[in-house]
Every structure is written in C-alpha cells, then in structure tokens.
Structure 1
Amino acid sequence: MVVDKSTTTNALEQFVVLAKSAKGAACVELVKQALEAPGVYVFGELLDSPNVADLLNTHKIYLSTLNLFAYGTYKDYLANPQDFMQLSPAQKKKLQHLTIVTLATKSKCIPYDVLLKELEIKNVRDLEDLIIEAIYADIIHGKLDQKNSQLEVDYAIGRDIRPEDINTIVNCLQDWSSACDKVLHCVESQICRANSEKSSAMLRQLEIEQEIVNIKKTLKTQLQERSDGTDELMVVDSREAASSGDKGKKGQKVAKGLKILR
C-alpha cells in the first residue's frame, strides 16, 4: 500500500502562507476555509503556524476542530460534538473521507459493516457513493467488492502524525533498520560462503583437469612402449623363422643324401 502526501501538502501551501499574517478572527476564517477546501487533507504545516497556535487562547474550539481533521475521525467528532465547531456538509464529508483513509491505512480490506458504523451512515448505497467520491478525490485507490461487502484498498494518502507518536514511529523505524541489518549480514555471510565454495569447486576442477592430462600422458607413454616392444618381437620372430627355414632345407638335403646311399 503506497502512502503519499505530496499532492495534499501542495494544496495546503496557500493557507500556510496566509496564516503568517492572519490573526484572531481572520485566522479562524482561514481555518474554516482550509477545512472545506477541496484537495486539502493534511494540516500539519498549518498547525505549526504561530498564529494558528494562538487560537488556543482565543478561539480554542476552532483549533480543536483543526486537530480533529489532522488526526481524528468522524466517530471522534460524534463522541464529543461540543468540543468542535459545527461542520458544514462539505466539512462533514471531508472528515468522513479522512476516516476512510485512517481505516485504509490499517487494513487492505474494510468490511462495509465497519464503514457504516464508523461513518454513521444508514445504507450501503450512500456508503458506496461516499467511497467513490473519496476515490475520485485521489485520497484512496481501490474497488468496491459488492459480493463480499467490503472495500479493497490499493493506495491511501498519509495523514498527519501526532507529535506524541513520533517516538513510536522512530522506534518502529529503528527496529526495521535493525532487522534489515540482520538480513544484510545474513546475505553477506551467504555470499561469502558461496564464493568460498565456488573457489573450492574451481580449484578441484583444475586438479581434475591436471589429473586427466597426467593420465593421458601416462597412457600415451605406455602405448608407445608397447608399440616399440611389439616391433622388436616381430623382428626376432622373423629372424627365428628365417633360421628355422635354413635348417629345414639342410635337413631335406641330408635326407636326400641318405636315400642315395641306400
């Protein structure tokens, strides 16, 4: 799930600039306009403005409402309506949209029953219309799963972070960083082991190739020696055969001589 606040932050810039010079009632009016303005869904920079912070002493209810839109939900508003300014229809719808964003950042699939309860809506048709408006406003991306009565979320913008939640986020990031370091160390160990095994395998391959070369040389030498020995044997045999032939002829002559004497 991708979270991006750049678009809504850009829409807020004009109000942040105006807040530098707006005080008292003018600042209250500025807050009302920001809460109703299309495309403005984050309010952290406006809350950081000194003139807006001064509303705590003069117009606390408007500062509380701005905090509600920054961090709260529609259910928070219904729980204590006296703590906040009366919302216009556009402001009420925006707070409901922000409530959907909050739910979307916690779960990829949000049942209709949960949405109906959180948004204080009586029927599914009105709920689906509100969700479609939030999708067109580009603060969430997803689809309506009417078969399973749920909203499937693919994307949601990020909402403002309460100052007291920063330490929790920092701890989460540190834990995530530590986990990444452990995984990286494990990967590096595996790489070293793989390289070592590769080097051993290459060395063994070279040894085998050398053994093959030595065996070939030995076989070649043995074959050469056998070939030389066979040639010598053939010469000896031929000589012996020739000698035997001469002796045979002499024997035949002697035998003929004996016959004549008889």
Structure 2
Amino acid sequence: MAQDMLLDAEESSNKETFLQQFCTLAKVASGAALLDVICQCLSSPNVFVFGELLVEPNVAELKDGPDAKYYNTLNLFAYGTYKQYRAERDKYIELTPAMQKKLQHLTIVSLAIKTKSIPYSVLLEELEINNVRHLEDIIIEAIYADIIHAKLFQNTRILEVDYAQGRDIPPGYTSKIAETLQAWVNSCDGVSNCIDMQIKYANAEKAKRLFNKERIEHELINLKKVLKSQASDSDESMQIDTHGAGPSGSNMSQPELRKKPSKMKNPRAGPVGLKFSK
C-alpha cells in the first residue's frame, strides 16, 4: 500500500515536471515557436492538466489574436470534452489522431469524476464511437496512462471506476466548489449533532439501567436480611417452646415428657347374652 502511494506520488511529480517544462518554454517563446509549444503539450502523453500553461502571459495574449484557435484548443483540453470539440470544430485547430485520443481520455476522466459506474452507452455517445471494441481499447489506454483506475464489465457493459485524476478547475468555478464544500460541512455537522444526541440518549439509558440494577440488588440484600432475621426468630421461638411448660400448665420434667407411655391391656370381654323376645 505504501509502495503504491509512493509510486503514484512519483508519477504525479513526473507529470508536473513535464508540464513545468512546457510552461518554461512558453515564457520565452513567441510566434510560431509558441504555437509549436502548445501543440507539443496537447500531444504529450504525460500531460493531462493545462491550467498553468493557460495563464502564462504569452499564451493568454493569443485569446484575442489571430491565433485564438490555439488558445481555444488549449482551453478545451483543460476544461472541455470530445463532444464539445465535435460540435464546434471551427473554433479549434485541427487535431491530430494523438490529440483526439487524448481528448477522449480526458472526456472519460470528466465522466468518471461525476459517477463511478459509467454505462457503455454513455461512453459511446460522449466519445462518438460506434464500436465497442474500439471503446474498450481507448478505456484500457486511459487506464495504462494512469488517469483512471477502473474495471471493464463486458457482460453488463459498465465501466466501474475506482479512481479518476482531477482536471483543471474552470475560472469562476471556485465559488461553486466552496458552496459544495460548505454544504458538505453543514451535512457533516448535522450528522455529528445527531450522533451526539444518540450518544447522550444511550448514556442516559445506561445510567438508568445501572440505577435500576443497583436498586434491585439493594432490595435483594434487604430481603435476604429480612428472611434471615425471620428464620432466626423462628428458631428462637422453637427453642423456647421446647424448654417451656408442658401442656395444661403441668410441671412435668423433660424426662417425663419423653417417657414412653405404657400400653394398657384391654380386659377380655365376657360372654354376650342374647335375649329373644317371645
């Protein structure tokens, strides 16, 4: 994991280095040399962000001059999509096959930023491709370029995206980003407050149950004491009855009480006389 992060950081640094080289050339170039720098940057397989080059003074001057198409094309690669290029081709320079494919890769990145599951139908329409095999080749090239991390599901015809490289932020879009982030912060605050309330409720319920448990345990202890006291009183009462006076207030001693009574012999009954009536 750490090694992958280091590799990603190294590749990102290399891409920034390539962009800085073009920015350095643009600072001192003019005329045809500047236009050539722009074309090289658009064709470079290692550059996928163009905001820093766009703000270079020499490049910004092209916006209202006779070579405005170069500025528009650079702006398109920074913020636009392949479909926009096909809709207004007159605004831009003629793209080479390498430039077109790169713009298609950037279009995939734009779609991946918006959603993580992209149907083939959407990709075919946005890239204006009518061949699924060709589409998959372009997607695989974008994956190898490390601008997206994704998986192709040919059975369901869906591109599942795990990661997408960010694109340049259009001018004036910063306020929208700030609003989105503020809405996200407000949502997080709401969730945090809800969690705090749930924690307080849970703690209150826990305290209530502990209190009831302690009360029940205390009542059980008192009940055991009462039962033990009653059992002790009963034992004492039995001892008093055993050592006390005999029945009918007689003063018979204990040995006499324990003495086994003698059996009485029943006298043999005499003959029974029968009397007959006349």
Q: Report the TM range for the smaller structure's normalisation.
A: 0.7 to 0.9
- Residue 193 of structure 1 is matched in structure 2 by 201
Q: Quick check: which one's helix share is greater? A: 1
| Structure 2 counterpart of 1:46, from 27, 50, 53 | 53
Equivalenced residue count is 244
1:170 paired with 2:181, answer: no
Alignment of 1:124-203 (within 5 A): 124-203=132-211
Aligned partner letter, 2:202: A
Identity across the alignment (%): 49
Provide the C-alpha distance between the structure 2 equivalents of 1:11 and 1:216, rounded to a whole number of angstroms. Answer: 86
Q: Name the counterpart of 1:29.
A: 36
TM-score, normalised to structure 2's length?
0.78
Residue equivalent to 1:259: none
**231 and 56 in structure 1: CA distance in 2 versus 1, 3 angstrom threshold:** same
Q: CA contact under 8 A between 1:34 and 1:40: conserved in structure 2?
A: yes
Compared CA separation, residues 212 and 11, structure 1 to 2 (3 A): farther
CA contact (8 A) 1:24 1:55 kept: no
SS of residue paired to 1:163: coil
Give the structure 1 partner of residue 110 of structure 2. Answer: 102
CA RMSD of the aligned region, Å? 2.6
Are positions 1:80 and 2:88 aligned together?
Answer: yes
Q: Which moved more, 1:106-115 or 1:17-26?
A: 17-26
- For residues 254 and 161 of structure 2, what CA distance do their matches in structure 1 show? 109
3-state SS, counterpart of residue 137 of structure 2: helix
Q: Which amino acid aligns with 1:179?
A: S
1:245 maps to 256
**Rounded Cα–Cα distance in structure 2 between residues aligned with 1:78 and 1:120:** 9
Task: Say if 1:10 and 1:230 are closer, same or farther in 2 by CA, change over 3 A.
Answer: farther
Deviation at 1:240, TM superposition (A): 4.8
Q: Aligned to 1:55, which of 24, 47, 62?
A: 62
In structure 2, the residue matched to 1:252 is none
Q: Deviations over 1:146-187 (max 9, x none)?
A: 223332322221111212222222212111111111111111
Corresponding position of 2:121? 113
Whole-Å separation in 2 of the counterparts to 1:232 and 1:25: 128
Off by >6 Å, runs of 4+ in structure 1: none
Partner Cα separation in structure 2 for residue 141 and residue 170 of structure 1: 27
**Is residue 13 from structure 1 mapped to residue 20 from structure 2 by the alignment?**
yes
Q: Distance in 2 between matches of 1:243 and 1:157?
A: 107
In 2, distance between residues paired with 1:104 and 1:145? Answer: 15
How many angstroms does 1:243 deviate by? 7.2
CA distance in 2, matches of 1:23, 1:205: 85
8 A Cα contact 1:19 1:30, kept in partner: yes
Give the C-alpha shift of residue 95 in structure 1: 0.4
Distance in 1 separating the partners of 2:89 and 2:61: 22
TM-score by length of 1: 0.82
Instruction: Return 5+ residue gaps in structure 2 as ranges.
Output: 1-7, 260-278
> Do residues 226 (structure 1) and 234 (structure 2) align?
yes
| Partner of residue 257, structure 1 | none
Answer yes or no: is the 8 Å Cα contact 1:61–1:85 preserved in 2.
Answer: yes
The structural deviation recorded for 1:48 is 2.6
Moved more, 20-29 or 127-136: 20-29
| Distance of 2:127 and 2:99 partners within structure 1 | 13
